[in-house]
Amino acid sequence: MNERFWELSALIFLVFLYGLGLCAERVWRHSVELNGVKTGAPAPDSWAGRYLADVAGASPESRALLADGFRLKITNRVAIVRHIANALVFLGLIGTVIGFIIALSGVDPETAGKAENVAAMVATLISGMSVALYTTLTGAILYTWLTISYRMLVTGAVDLITATVELGEARGRTG
């Protein structure tokens, strides 16, 4: 395999690992927060705890505005994972372009007619095409994996937002 393939694939994989680690951290944080909300006593320094402290004694209109702000904060913290997943596709496409550049760099129109030069040109062509195809495949597979992880994160975020706002509203109506 071409050295460029390994370099590009390593870069794509490192970006994937960063995104996956970030996703795992957010899933864990949402899980801890959701567990606190479901017990009715989230930690005061948690996102949910701060939201519930803000809505305590607030009017219904203020609670609605605070709920919108809470939704935005949580979804903003999740969106970065989607952006990293999209970057994986672009990195794979950059690898495709680099692979084609490598493939075409070995073709010399002036010497292509000589039989002794064809083998070297074909070898460079194959090497470049392998970089192009493998980096595209690497980016696409890791994009799919991170996107699935992202969807799980979004589900947890929606559950956290819903449970927290419902708890805030229940406390607001009785308080």
For 158-170, how does the pLDDT look when each residue is reduced to its tens digit (9 = 90+)? 999 999 999 999 9
- What pLDDT does residue 1 have? 59
- What pLDDT does residue 175 have? 59
Q: In this model, does residue 25 exceed pLDDT 90?
A: yes
Name the burial class of residue 65, with classes exposed (0-12), middle (13-18) and buried (19+) by CB atoms within 10 angstroms of its CB.
middle
Contact 99, 133 (CB under 8 A): yes
Q: In this model, does residue 106 exceed pLDDT 90?
A: no
Instruction: Please give the DSSP secondary-structure letter assigned to residue 114.
Output: S
- Report the chain's mean pLDDT, rounded to a whole number: 91
pLDDT tens-place string over residues 37-80: 999 999 999 999 999 999 998 999 999 999 999 999 999 999 99
Lowest mean pLDDT among 35-39, 65-69, 94-98, 170-174: 170-174
- What pLDDT does residue 108 have? 73
Q: Which domain holds residue 165?
A: 3-174
The CA R_g of the chain, rounded to the nearest whole Å, is: 25
CA–CA distance, 22 with 14 (Å, rounded to integer): 12
Say if pTM beats, i.e. exceeds, 0.75: yes
Domains of the chain: total: 1
User: Between the ranges 81-85, 92-96, 127-131, where is the mean pLDDT highest?
Assistant: 81-85
